[in-house]
Amino acid sequence: MDARLGVFLFLLVTVLQTVVGNKWGYDYADGPKFWPNSYPNCGGKQQSPISIGVSEVVVNNSLPQFNFDHIKNVTNLKMTLENNGHSVQIDLKGNNLQLSGGGLPGVYNAEQFHFHWGSEDKRGSEHNINGKQYPMEMHVVLYNSQHGVFSNALNKTGGLAVLAFLFEIGETNHHFDEIISHLTKISHKDDHALLNTFALDSLFPHDAGVYYRYYGSLTTPPCYESVIWTIFKNHIIISEEQIDKFRHQVHRNYANETDRDISDDYRPVQRLNNRVVMTNAEEGLYYNNCKINLPFNFYFMVLLFLLISKL
């Protein structure tokens, strides 16, 4: 065979493998069950997300608080909002947003943050607590600065750290206005929009002192088991109206295709296997999210009201 033809065929196969291999999603046909076929790491023993059963969590008093002083830096920061077809992501460039403390082995630089959300309030988060899923989850993805760049850290043990925040529905959260007001500009895959910079920690809950810690993976292909996970106990509040804009203003398709929402871009929980989830404080052992409490109280109050009104 002609050498040039050989090179051409090799390149053609490589390109085709890349194109086919990159076709992953959350539908039945390309969904999480099939990821291990193209991405063997997705079938590993230390995968994410997981269900955190608070009664099995272990308190580790040697886990310190995080130092958020340098993650709020906006000098020379460039924030780019992007629709990558799987999520809404904000790329952070031009300045190293550094994070230390929290028991991390070194200084970590923030690379990007993104969201997972559901088409309904009862689902959307990747991690769940005591079996309860939340409507949205934000991931701040950081890499260990000793690897120099994100791509070098991606597949190294402890190379990445992800800060995960769960959302609950409540009042309007104006800290998300800058992102949400630009969603219509990234309504299709590969769309980008430049944001006015803001302090990253303004999105965090007021008290981000209590957290859960375990070792896991990227929750999307190639699912490398390189992530030190932190899930904060306190939630971010967002309104129904705000989350609805994530649900319906951004689509997973290109502009010339039929619009389909990105919603429900979460991977189901993975086996814990022999891993242990830790918390940095006693408060981590208590989580008031019993699903029965609220409706029961509601019916009890209605009954009480009816009884009193009869008297």
Query: Which residues of this chain interact with Zn ion, rule CB under 5 A?
Result: 139
Catalytic residue among 86, 147, 188, 248: 86
Nearest approach, Cβ of 112 to Zn ion (angstroms)?
10
Nearest approach, Cβ of 114 to Zn ion (angstroms)?
6
Cβ–Cβ < 8 Å for 192, 82: yes
- Using the minimum distance from each CB to Zn ion, give the nearer residue, 116 or 303: 116
Task: Using the Cα atoms of residue 132, residue 135, residue 139 and residue 140 in order, give the sign of their dihedral.
Answer: negative
CA dist 140 and 89 (Å) reads 10
- Using the minimum distance from each CB to Zn ion, give the nearer residue, 123 or 146: 123
Please state the φ and ψ torsions of residue 214, each to the nearest 5 degrees: -155, 170
- Using the minimum distance from each CB to Zn ion, give the nearer residue, 51 or 65: 51
Closest among 122, 128, 104, 126 to 54, alpha carbons compared: 128
Nearest approach, Cβ of 116 to Zn ion (angstroms)?
6
Which residues are bridge partners to 71 per DSSP?
A: none
- Using the minimum distance from each CB to Zn ion, give the nearer residue, 114 or 182: 114
Nearest approach, Cβ of 117 to Zn ion (angstroms)?
11
In sequence order, what E strands does the chain have? 51-52, 58-59, 66-67, 78-83, 88-93, 98-101, 108-117, 128-129, 136-144, 160-169, 192-195, 211-216, 227-232, 236-238, 278-279
The neighbour count for residue 112, using CB atoms within 10 Å, is 19
Nearest approach, Cβ of 280 to Zn ion (angstroms)?
22
Which residues are bridge partners to 13 per DSSP?
A: none
For 83, left (φ over 0), alpha (ψ -120 to 50), or beta? beta
- Using the minimum distance from each CB to Zn ion, give the nearer residue, 139 or 235: 139
Nearest approach, Cβ of 137 to Zn ion (angstroms)?
7
- The torsion angle over the Cα atoms of residues 255, 259, 262 and 268, rounded to 10 degrees, is -130
Which residue's CB comes closest to Zn ion? 139
Known active-site residue 188 = no
Helix (H) or strand (E) holding 142: strand 136-144
- Using the minimum distance from each CB to Zn ion, give the nearer residue, 139 or 213: 139
CA dist 242 and 244 (Å) reads 5
Task: Using the Cα atoms of residue 38, residue 23, residue 125 and residue 192 in order, give the sign of their dihedral.
Answer: positive
State the catalytic residues: 86
